[in-house]
């Protein structure tokens, strides 16, 4: 279990959900992981769970200064990074006619701006043949009610991935997009799904997913590991959908 032995991985939003599952799996595969998030207590708990291979830095991904701090930490402590996973994101489900300026700015600030300036800051410190993984969404391809702004942010991330796959090619750096479908994470609670409603929500969503269930964070983490490791050494510029086939319907 050492496909990432000797590697350094940075995972934004690595304190929960898909980001945490990916960071933990990267560490299990031999990587040193740097995780980021906005909640210090959640980061501390994540580091305790992952173990001594993890360090954390707290901050807001919408703030370019935070990304410069992450890049400085990576440079000073590890000499560079081999994997950068831009995972941090937010989603607010609102019909377009009701979207406020603040809601719009928050989603684009965290999802698109955070991804762009995170890669801009870390790029000089990425090793040759590094892997960049940008977490997108099924919503960038499939129209979902109330997701117009969120879909726009994820479509922007897809454009970044394609552009960077060519921009960084001379350094052998691969850039790919990982697009989850509905996944059983704490984001369901942030979307207003109460704990007692989770089962009904999952059953309702299952009807729209060919594999008839929500995804699990560890399944997305295994897909991220594929993109992070040499198993995908000839893969760049793709959008890897891990959505149970939902994009087909």
Distance CA 24, CA 32 (A): 10
Secondary structure E strands in the chain: 8-11, 32-37, 54-58, 81-86, 126-135, 174-180, 239-242
Tens of pLDDT, residue by residue, the chain (249 residues): 799 999 999 999 999 999 999 999 999 999 999 999 999 999 999 999 999 999 999 999 999 999 999 999 999 999 999 999 999 999 999 999 999 999 999 999 999 999 999 999 999 999 999 999 999 999 999 999 999 999 999 999 999 999 999 999 999 999 999 999 999 887 665 555 667 777 777 788 888 999 999 999 999 999 999 999 999 999 999 999 999 999 998
Catalytic residue among 26, 116, 117, 150: 150
Q: Which residues contact 129 (CB under 8 A, 6 or more apart)?
A: 171, 172, 173, 174, 233
Strands of the sheet containing 239-242, edge to edge, are 54-58, 32-37, 8-11, 81-86, 126-135, 174-180, 239-242
Distance CA 12, CA 31 (A): 15
Nearest to 119 by CA among 108, 136, 135, 134: 134
Bridging pattern class, strands 8-11 and 174-180: unpaired
Examine the residue annotation and report whether 84 is marked as an active-site residue of this protein.
Answer: no
Which burial class, exposed, middle or buried, applies to 3 when counting CB atoms under 10 A from its CB (0-12, 13-18, 19+)? middle
Nearest to 58 by CA among 25, 125, 17, 12: 12
Q: Which residues contact 167 (CB under 8 A, 6 or more apart)?
A: none
What domains sit in the chain, N to C, each tagged with a CATH number? 8-248 (3.40.50.720)
């Amino acid at each position: 279990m050492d496909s990432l032995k000797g590697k350094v991985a940075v995972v934004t939003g690595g304190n929960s959900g898909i980001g945490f599952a990916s960071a933990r799996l990267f560490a299990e595969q031999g990587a040193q992981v740097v995780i980021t998030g906005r909640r210090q207590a959640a980061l501390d708990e994540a580091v305790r769970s992952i173990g001594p291979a993890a360090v954390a830095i707290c901050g807001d991904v919408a703030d370019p200064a935070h990304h410069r701090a992450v890049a400085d930490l990576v440079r000073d402590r590890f000499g560079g990074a081999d994997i950068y996973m831009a995972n941090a994101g937010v989603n607010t489900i609102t019909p377009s006619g009701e979207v406020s300026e603040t809601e719009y700015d928050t989603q684009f600030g965290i999802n698109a701006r955070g991804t762009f300036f995170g890669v801009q800051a870390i790029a000089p410190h990425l090793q040759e043949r590094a892997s960049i993984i940008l977490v997108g969404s099924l919503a960038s391809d499939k129209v979902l009610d109330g997701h117009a702004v969120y879909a726009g942010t994820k479509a922007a991330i897809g454009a970044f991935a394609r552009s960077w796959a060519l921009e960084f090619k001379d350094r052998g750096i691969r850039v790919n997009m990982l697009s989850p479908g509905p996944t059983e994470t704490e984001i369901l609670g942030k979307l207003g799904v109460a704990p007692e409603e989770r089962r009904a929500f999952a059953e309702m969503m299952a009807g729209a997913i060919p594999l008839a269930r929500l995804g699990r964070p560890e399944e997305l983490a295994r897909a991220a590991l594929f993109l992070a490791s040499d198993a995908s050494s000839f893969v760049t510029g793709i959008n890897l959908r891990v959505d149970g086939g939902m994009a087909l319907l």
